[in-house]
């Protein structure tokens, strides 16, 4: 089974702090994603990565950056946390972008971030 | 601009009856549609998908119907079980890559 592990389930940070959210997958997947989930808005894509050192902006990249130095690891960085970044953050991975199962993402359990 | 809409925030169904979750979309370029299920404190898990060239796909108790002319899809769960109580997200794949999600529908199956 694919396992996507997010390093922190719950975090509480102060406004202005730098925040790192780490995600590791164990199935050699090429593609990795960061989403945030907010009530009434569903899952919104922040950033995604096709491969090591490659990244592309999603729908809401402002205030975030990412790093993918190794294939199995995809990090989300909040350079200066703000209260409107309080949310549930979900990491996901996918084997490849092609084929009928290309939409199947494997998600981690989520990291709930509260910014005070 | 929400390209994928789930207009019902919640749905309550009696155990054994049919649950029907609905989803509307606006972009004709979507090539696959998917449903994910999410339990509290867990990540979403893939449930079922359908290609835009088909109108029905069935997997056990779960069936997804696609009406392209109406830009509408629905997920039918028959019979509904208490363990089906979860948040259901509709998603659509764009250009073979990016997934666009709806806001989700909370399903409660009462025993």
Cβ contact A18:A28 at 8 Å: no
Span B74-80, average pLDDT: 98
A56 touches chain B (CB under 8 A): no
Distance from the B3 Cα atom to the nearest Cα atom in chain A, whole angstroms? 12
Span A32-47, average pLDDT: 93
Contact check, Cβ <8 Å, A97/B46: no
Kindly report, residue by residue over B15-28, the tens digit of the pLDDT: 999 999 999 999 99
Nearest chain B residue (CA) to A37: B103
Banded model confidence at residue A110, pLDDT cuts 50, 70, 90? very high
What tokens does A63 get?
Answer: 């205030």
- Cα distances from B26 to residues A79, B51, B66, B68, B70, in angstroms, run 35, 16, 13, 10, 10
SS3 A114: strand
Q: Which of A43-52, A98-107, B70-79 has the lowest mean pLDDT?
A: A98-107
What tokens does A28 get?
Answer: 């050699």
DSSP code, position B40: T
């Amino acid at each position: 089974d694919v396992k996507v592990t997010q390093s922190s389930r719950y975090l509480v940070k102060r406004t202005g702090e730098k925040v790192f959210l780490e995600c590791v997958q164990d199935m050699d997947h090429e593609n990795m994603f960061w989403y945030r989930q907010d009530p009434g808005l569903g899952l919104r894509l922040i950033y995604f990565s096709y491969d090591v050192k490659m990244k592309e902006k999603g729908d809401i990249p402002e205030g975030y950056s990412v790093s993918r130095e190794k294939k199995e690891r995809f990090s989300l960085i909040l350079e200066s946390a703000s209260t409107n970044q309080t949310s549930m953050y979900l990491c996901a991975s996918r084997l490849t972008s092609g084929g009928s199962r290309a939409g199947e993402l494997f998600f981690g359990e989520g990291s709930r971030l509260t910014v005070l | 601009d929400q390209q994928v809409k789930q207009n019902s925030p919640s749905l309550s169904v009696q155990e054994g009856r049919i649950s029907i979750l609905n989803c509307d979309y606006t972009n004709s370029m979507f090539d696959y549609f998917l449903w994910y299920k999410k339990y509290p404190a867990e990540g979403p898990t893939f449930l079922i998908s359908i290609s835009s060239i088909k109108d029905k796909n069935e997997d056990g108790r779960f069936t997804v119907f696609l009406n392209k002319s109406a830009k509408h899809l629905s997920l039918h769960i028959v019979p509904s079980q208490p363990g089906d109580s979860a948040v259901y997200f509709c998603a659509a794949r764009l250009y073979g890559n990016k997934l666009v999600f709806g806001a989700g529908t909370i399903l409660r199956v009462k025993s």
